[in-house]
Amino acid sequence: MKKLKKRLQQGETLHGCWLNLGSSLTAEIVGLAGFDWVLIDLEHGAGSEREVLYQLQALEHTPTAALVRVESTEPQRIHRILDMGAEGIMCPKVSNPAEARKVVGGLHYPPHGHRGVAKMVRATGFGQHFGQYYQEAQDNILGVVQIETVEVLNHLDEVAAIDGVDVLFIGPADLSMELGIFGQFDHPRFKEALRETVNAAQKAGKATGILFFNPDDYQTYHDLGIRLIACGADATFVADGARHLAKRLDAFRTVPAGVNNGSE
């Protein structure tokens, strides 16, 4: 494992991005680009569990740690992805302590949780390293719950205090939507929710994370104390690069002599 959890506990700021194309090739490209971690997105991304497996395999030989966002808090969803070799799980819209405890229960083997035991899986080297994996999993698997609802804002201290919840990760789009101020990230209520989340995490000795798409926003969130920072996604990298190049080529385009370009 790539010790992402320990690095966060030591106070490092860790940079990542989203993988939502379901492509092992873009996963490998991003994994070699210099990010500390990536988030393979099963909630909104294009891929299925099969594509998650391929992306984990592609990331294995890169320095980048792989987290996966599952669609729900159901333990079986979490178990399956961990067995594939993910180093952490993100669950969306965790609204209360009971849901947070359900996530944690799915992350860890007894006595810390209720993750099912399977030795012949990729995470354990197909049985070769189960003992080592079992010993190290508790200290290395990262548990990330997303702060995206109004309800959870009333339970931040309780959720942050749960052993096994390692990161409170703010989902700006969903949270601002639920607050009735969609996309207004400078709105006082959104800023208040950010501060409340960071404060709750810090009191419990936990980290806070966020996803944004404009690198110019980096300092604002870092100054708040957010340390698991995601900027961009493989889909935006491809789309932005393609649009940028097409626009540059258009600037060189010339109209052949005698051809009406529509200006008359």
Is residue 114 flagged as an active site residue? no
Q: Is residue 153 part of a domain?
A: yes
> Which domain does 148 fall in, by range?
4-248
Identity of the residue numbered 40: I
Q: Indicate the number of domains in the chain.
A: 1
Q: How confident is the model at residue 115 (pLDDT cuts 50, 70, 90)?
A: very high
Q: What is the pLDDT of residues 225-247, one digit of tens each?
A: 999 999 999 999 999 999 999 99
On whether residue 143 sits in a domain, the answer given is yes
Answer whether residue 172 shows pLDDT above 80: yes
Cα atoms in the 13 Å half-sphere on the side-chain side of 152? 28
What pLDDT does 260 receive? 67
Is residue 114 one of the residues assigned to a domain?
yes
pLDDT at position 181 over 60: yes
In this structure, are residues 166 and 143 in contact, taking their beta carbons and an 8 Å threshold?
yes
Q: Encode pLDDT of 25-74 as tens digits.
A: 999 999 999 999 999 999 999 999 999 999 999 999 999 999 999 999 99
Is 192 within the bounds of a domain? yes
Residue 199 lies in a domain: yes
> Catalytic one among 44, 61, 187, 244?
44
Question: Would you say residue 69 lies in a domain?
Answer: yes
Q: Judge whether 264 lies within some domain.
A: no
> Is 263 a domain residue?
no
CATH number at residue 55: 3.20.20.60
In this predicted structure, the answer to whether residue 262 has a pLDDT above a threshold of 60 is no
The band of 146, judged by pLDDT with boundaries at 50, 70 and 90, is very high
